[in-house]
A and B are shown apart, each in its own frame.
Chain A
Amino acid sequence: MSPVSVVSQAPLLRVAGLQKFFPIRKGFLRRTVGHVRAVDGVNFHIDEGETLGLVGESGCGKTTTARCILRAIEPTGGEIFMRRGDGAVVEMGGLRPAELRALRREMQMIFQDPFTSLNPRMTLLDLVGEPLLVHGMKSRPEREERVADLLRRVGLRPEYMRRFPHAFSGGERQRIGIARALALQPRLVVADEPVSALDVSVQAQILNLLFDLQADFRLTYLFVAHDLSVVRYISNRVAVMYVGRMVELAETEELFKTPKHPYTAALLSAVPEPDPRTRSRRIVLQGEVANPAAPPSGCYFHPRCPHAIDVCRKETPAWLEISRGHFVGCHRARELQLAGVE
């Protein structure tokens, strides 16, 4: 497919109505008896050079969304637009395999677990150099030079190039994973829980590194995480998901100070602060996260929502922009006064 349009100010990535359903199969014939609606109508965009935090609890569809964007899995519905290096905006579903391969160079992933995401039989040189080789850098000395440079950029000594990952700590391994992701000079980096497997004292090192690399290489991050304090630190804007749907999206400070969705407010209040003087009455949500294979009627959050009224049980709330750049999917968004963090 040829480029749809050429607009230089278009967002780097735009996701519209994204859906991903997984079939539930039963019986000898593996007949499909239903669907898990893992992602069900997600909309957002990311501008070049910014960080969008994507938060939610386990099973909310945040990782599935990330995997759809990278085309690691095929979405069921919706469109994903990416602005290529040449300025052309393309819809990924309509690309030919060769075009998709070329586009993939521009988006890379950083994984959660640095212990299982690196092949233990490959040296740092092989690990970081592999993407270079695959994308055509055949000369070994050239590759070594580039790998040494990348290792320096992520704070590792290039002399360690011939060592294997087991010789490194969790934080260092995460640096190796970051060097590998950066090898092809991507523009979009999808980081899926990149610090949640690390010790607290090491988390800060990796977050600062991601911050510096973003400034140096003008990277755009989609930062998937469940830890709200980490997300607050790294993100320009934050999107909150619940059972496959997006419930709120706003600039970080605005979302934390004046949440408009009761689920966001509950999530914010649930995070224990590392300060015994702020022990406060938390919003304790009743019940459990809804089952995405059999979600409740209306707003998926209504069975646990302290503010639910009749309409919430019957109708799916619309995705509304209630103030500039602040989107909410809640029937009562305009009337509720919810507490955030100061």
Chain B
Amino acid sequence: MGADARSPLLSVRNLKTYFAQDEGTVKAVDGVNLDLYPGATLGIVGESGCGKSVTARSILRIVDRPGRIVDGEIQFRRPTADGAPGATIDLARLAPNSPEMRSIRGAEIALIFQEPMSSFSPVHTVGNQIMEVIQLHQRISRGDARDRAIDMLKRVGVSSPEERIGQLSNQLSGGLRQRAMIAMALSCHPTLLIADEPTTALDVTTQTQILELMRRLQEEDGMAIMLITHDLGVVAEMATDVAVMYLGRVVEQAPVDAIFHAPRHPYTRALLRSIPRMRARSRDRLTPIAGAVPHPYDRPTGCPFHPRCADFIAGRCDREAPSLKPVGDRHAVSCFLYE
């Protein structure tokens, strides 16, 4: 089956990942729908507990026990031998440790984490860990893998990579560690890079360097990026499209300009109003969202946002759950106000 550039690289449909625990079931991801196109950057924003990280881990099939995908599809388009987009495969149906999943994970879909300290082994050199990833997915000699690792480190702006390659991760600064992490993730030329809060642990001037680097590498390699963050500034800076999540669901997805300049969902609108801005006058009051994100065991019925929503329709929003409906070009909202 062939595919043109307009067919999605990744298409998530009705994904549900639940954690069955003694106290009850946590519906961390509860019917997520997402589309990500080749070469695009999809920003996934939301507050703690909205399921953005579990969505990413579900795609990679690395959800920790007792978490389990209970429903839905994760259609991922694999490249053909010459690199052109090929047929899709449903990752939700693969066994997490099957040969197919293992050939996709780390090679075609790569991941960078928030905490580069804990994602490198402290007892192996950075070089050995990058070489291991390369040799796991490609039949090349150790010497060639070493050359590739040095090349990658050079590409991500690590100075004197020949020396760095022999160092342990704790000998590197936070910014350098995140660069090494990106080098490792991109060493097998993935078509999809999932970046989970890649700059949250970094200082703002280092964040600028890392975002700039990710943008340059995307221009050069053409991979799609799924950028998971709670920082609306980072999303505005990087994303082509944005999905806003709340309590395990996508409440709005749209091109980045529409999310920031014509948001439709009451949660998106309230979120944008509540954040302090650099360009605002100092000591002007903010408009907060009432209440707090509910505890996962204590999920509201109906629309998950209704207890905090200013436009809540009694008898409707607290009883039925809305679904994602198109409201414009590539713009979809899950809210009864638009039905």
Contacts and interface: CB of A to CB of B under 8 A. Distances in A.
Chain A CB within 10 A, most for which of B236, B256, B282, B288 = B282
17 contacts: A169-B293, A170-B48, A170-B292, A204-B274, A205-B288, A205-B289, A226-B204, A232-B278, A252-B282, A256-B282, A266-B205, A267-B205, A272-B211, A282-B212, A285-B209, A288-B173, A341-B278
B132 interface: no
Interface of B: 47-48, 173, 175-176, 203-209, 211-212, 230-237, 239, 256-257, 260-261, 270-272, 274-289, 292-293, 295
A267 B212 contact: no
The 4 closest A-B pairs by CB, nearest first: A272-B233, A204-B288, A57-B203, A204-B286
A17 to B, nearest CB: 27
A200 B287 CA distance: 12
Interface string A197-235: 001111111011001000000000000001111101111
A272 B234 contact: yes
A170 B272 CA distance: 20
A202 B288 contact: yes
Contacts of A233: 276, 280, 282-284, 286
A277 B261 contact: yes
Contacts of A201: 47, 270-271, 274, 288-289, 292-293
Chain B CB within 10 A, most for which of A236, A252, A272 = A272
By size class, the interface of chain A is 35 or more
Interface string A265-303: 011111111111111001111001100000000000000
B208 A273 contact: no
B291 to A, nearest CB: 9
Nearest to B49: A199
Contacts of A329: none
Nearest to A238: B282
Contact of A289 (B203, B207, B289): B203
A202 B279 CA distance: 20
A113 interface: no
Given A203-B276, A207-B286, A276 B230 contact: no
A203 B292 contact: no
A130 interface: no
Nearest to B239: A276
A227 to B, nearest CB: 8
